[in-house]
Structure formats: structure tokens, C-alpha cells
Amino acid sequence: METLSGPLTLKDIAREAGVSVATIDRVLHGRSGVREETARRVHEAIERHNFRPSAAAADLARARFSRFAIVMPIGPNVFMQLILDNVADMSGWLASRRVSVETIKTDVFDPQALTATLESLADRFDGVATVALDHQNVRAAIDDLVAKGMFVVTLVSDVPGSRRHHYVGIDNVAAGRTAGTLIGRLNGPRSGRIAVVAGSQSLRDHAERIFGFQQVLRLEYPHLELLAPVEGGDRDETNAQLMTGLLEAHADIVGVYNVGAGTEGVAQAIRARPRSDRRIFVAHDLTDFTRRCLLRGEIDAVVSQSPGHEARSAIRVLLALARDERILAEQEKIRIEIVMRDNLP
């Protein structure tokens, strides 16, 4: 095995190739104005020593300052707040790398509002990470930003048709399938009905989760009958009412899947109407509340994505794009985590 790098510098390579540092630099960054023959010699010298320019020196010389925005839904969504908390934790790191991150809250459920917000970002930022609704106007707004040279990353919920550079989040269909398998298997042979509570199906992530969930249950657990999903807008009170209604209407509900936030409301309703053979309850996202429920056995499993990972990943990807560094795909891939009582982080 060979040494991964030596203390070589651009200057050394220049001497070796018989050209000046400026020429090496041009070759290194694929800029024009270098004769083919010269470029070949330079490349050879670089390969020979496996030379990589020092990231520190490059960063310093470029003296870039990056301004990023992170667009988040208004309102008290615990998961979104966790992402922001994690961004805040990076503040020292960000500052020392000359990166500023500004949070912008808007109504991501309203295409007009979101579109307007996105449009207002042009020229003020070098990149955005946005939690976005999948809507034609939003897609257009994203494409506009990209056309203007801005780097755009979708966060948590994707906008697949758009020209965004990257999506930081999970495959929500797979997440729904995971929830389905968990409820199906943890329930065992018992038959009965399954309730599904969502925030809003107009949010792509919720719709996708429900799709995956129903797919698995219909195909593999036919003894479980799916109730039509109800939508509570991720609000605790609404969810509590809806869930209570379902439990009153159907005595044989043996499993509950809460697709979005507002888990506390759903949990309240379930707690108020216990069943001797416990119902299986699967929810999303690990928060203080869901953690306590897991420990108490009120929730059987949480399907989760790490807000810390998403926060860091969004920033890292934007930074890599802005300073054209390589993105480590493996590192930036967000996992669908299954959290039970015993593997709580």
C-alpha cells in the first residue's frame, strides 16, 4: 500500500512538469488556455505523485463567503425544530468556515406563499435548503433559482420534477412500507382493523408513506382491514378528535399508524380507550414525546430519520456544491431508522 499523500505542493508539481503554478492550476480546474501537450505533461506529474491540492490553502485563497438559506414551515413542528436546533449546534463550525445560514419560515403548504418566498431569495443567497410542497409553481420557482446559479436542496420532502441539485431526506414510500411491515409483523395472527392518521395528503411525503403502507398491508396482511386515512393537519387536538372518532366507531382496531406529526394527540385518544390485548402503534420521528412513549410501551416502534443528519447533510451538500467539492453519496444518504425501546439513541 502506498502513502495516500505526500507533503507535495503545487510548486513541486510545477517544477516537475516544467511549467508555472498558474498553468497547473488551470489544468487542475479544467480551465482553458492550456495547450493539449502541456496539459498532458501536467496530468502525468499529478498522477505520478497522486497530488491533491491542499484544501486549506485552496479555501483560503478563494476567500469565499457562502450565504445559505433554509426554508421551513411556520408553526410548532417538533421535527423541523430539531433540524434547526442541529443547525444552531453547528454555528461555530459554520462561522469558522465563513458560512452564514439564515432561517426563513413560510407556509410551505401554500404554493403561492412558498413560491413567493423562494423567488425572494434570488441574489441574496448562494444556496437554499427548502422543505417544499410538490406543486407546479414551486417546481418552476426552484428551476428559476437554479437557472440563476443558486444551489437548491430539497429537505424532508422532495420535488422530483424540479432541477434541484439534491434531495436530503428518506424514501417515503419505503418508510411507509416499513411501518406496514412493523404493524403487520408485530401484530401477529390477530385480525382486525388498522387506522391511519396523516397530516395532509397534499404533502408529498405523507401521501407516499400512506401509499407504501397500504401496499404492504393489502398484499401481505390481508387479515388486517385498512380504514381510510384521516387528515388532522399534524395538529394534536384535531388528531385526538379524529382518532377518538375512529376508536368509537370501530371496536376492532388493532393497529394505528400515525403518518406525520401530532403524535401526542393520537396517543391521548388511544390511551383513553385501552384494549386488553394492546393495539400496535407505530409513529414517525423520534422526539421527546415519542421517546417516552417507546419507553412506556405505548408506542411499539418509531420510523424515523435523524434530524441531526439531515441538518448536517443539507449544509454539507450546499457547501460542497458552492465550493465545488465532491459529495460523498454514502455519507449523505439519509436512513430510514426503526427505533424501538431498546435501540433508542
Partner DNA sequence: TCATTTTTGAGTTGCGTACATCAAGAATGA
Partner DNA sequence: TCATTCTTGATGTACGCAACTCAAAAATGA
Q: Which residues bind a copy of itself (CB under 8 A)?
A: 1, 3-5, 7, 50, 52-60, 65, 86, 89-103, 174-175, 177-178, 180-182, 185-186, 188-189, 212, 216, 300, 303, 306, 308, 312, 326, 328, 330-331, 333, 335-343, 345
Asked if residue 3 binds DNA (CB under 7 A), the reply is: no
Closest approach of DNA to the CB of residue 340, in Å: 45
Evaluate whether 217 touches 196 at the Cβ level (below 8 Å): no
Asked if residue 50 binds DNA (CB under 7 A), the reply is: no
Closest approach of DNA to the CB of residue 57, in Å: 3
Footprint (CB under 7 A) of DNA, residues 208-227: none
Asked if residue 95 binds DNA (CB under 7 A), the reply is: no
Footprint (CB under 7 A) of DNA, residues 51-70: 53-54, 57-58, 60-63
Nearer to a copy of itself, 31 or 326 (CB): 326
DSSP 167: E
Nearest to 9 by CA among 45, 60, 63, 59: 45
In this structure, what C-alpha cell is assigned to residue 334? Answer: 439519509
Asked if residue 46 binds DNA (CB under 7 A), the reply is: no
Single-letter residue type at 155: L
> How many CA atoms are closer than 13 Å to the CA of 28, on its beta-carbon side?
20
Q: Using CA atoms, how far apart are residues 53 and 39, in angstroms rounded to an integer?
A: 17
Closest approach of a copy of itself to the CB of residue 64, in Å: 10
Binding at 50: pick from a copy of itself, DNA, none (beta carbon under 5-8 Å per type): a copy of itself
Nearer to a copy of itself, 212 or 262 (CB): 212
Asked if residue 117 binds DNA (CB under 7 A), the reply is: no
Nearer to DNA, 38 or 215 (CB): 38
In three-state secondary structure terms, 78 is helix
Binding at 35: pick from a copy of itself, DNA, none (beta carbon under 5-8 Å per type): DNA
Evaluate whether 341 touches 307 at the Cβ level (below 8 Å): no
Q: What pairing do the DSSP bridges indicate for beta strands 301-304 and 280-284? A: parallel
Asked if residue 28 binds DNA (CB under 7 A), the reply is: yes
In this structure, what C-alpha cell is assigned to residue 102? Answer: 439564515
Relative orientation angle of helices 111-119 and 136-147, to the nearest 10 degrees: 10
Binding at 225: pick from a copy of itself, DNA, none (beta carbon under 5-8 Å per type): none
> How many CA atoms are closer than 13 Å to the CA of 79, on its beta-carbon side?
23
CA dihedral 144, 147, 150, 155 (to 10 degrees): 60
Evaluate whether 210 touches 178 at the Cβ level (below 8 Å): no
Asked if residue 173 binds DNA (CB under 7 A), the reply is: no
In this structure, what C-alpha cell is assigned to residue 277? Answer: 390485548
Nearer to a copy of itself, 59 or 143 (CB): 59
Binding site for DNA (CB under 7 A): 7, 9-11, 18-23, 25-26, 28-29, 32-35, 38, 53-54, 57-58, 60-63
